[in-house]
């Protein structure tokens, strides 16, 4: 499945490229070559909603002694994930901004790793 590129408005971005896109690693359109990404807040919201559904269904399943309750929560979480990623809006980003975001990302990761040595 391909998604519509926000630059050329033609289907040219793969589903996995859209799911893994970020400011530091944007998805590239196969039609126009433009870069775009899904906002981090949208990505985090989809993930968090899935985790909440799974935890609520797990707690309900343990309380009711029903594996079927957890299975239905699992199906609901997967369905929500698929639906939300299809609806997630992509935003164009320039190559320079993506490069800068990548440098900031790796700099912060390096600082975090350095600080983790002293804990």
Dig out the tokens for 67 from the structure: 């594996």
SS3 category, 13: strand
SS3 category, 22: coil
Residue 32: alpha-carbon gap to chain centroid: 23
Look at the pTM and tell me if it is higher than 0.85: no
Taking the domains of the chain in order of start, what are their residue ranges? 1-39+90-119, 44-88
Per-residue pLDDT of the chain (119 residues; tens, 9 = 90+): 889 999 999 999 999 999 999 999 999 999 999 999 999 999 999 999 999 999 999 999 999 999 999 999 999 999 999 999 999 999 999 999 999 999 999 999 999 999 999 88
């Amino acid at each position: 499945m391909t998604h519509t590129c926000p630059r050329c408005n033609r289907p040219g971005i793969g589903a996995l490229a859209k799911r893994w896109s970020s400011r530091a690693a944007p998805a590239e359109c196969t039609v126009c070559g433009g870069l775009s990404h899904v906002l981090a807040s949208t990505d985090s919201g989809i993930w968090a909603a899935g985790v909440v559904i799974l935890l609520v269904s797990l707690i309900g399943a343990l309380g009711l002694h029903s594996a079927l309750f957890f299975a239905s929560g699992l199906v609901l979480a997967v369905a929500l994930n698929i639906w939300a990623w299809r609806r997630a809006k992509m935003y164009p980003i320039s190559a320079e901004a993506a490069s800068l975001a990548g440098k900031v990302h790796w700099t912060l990761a390096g600082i975090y790793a350095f600080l983790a040595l002293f804990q």
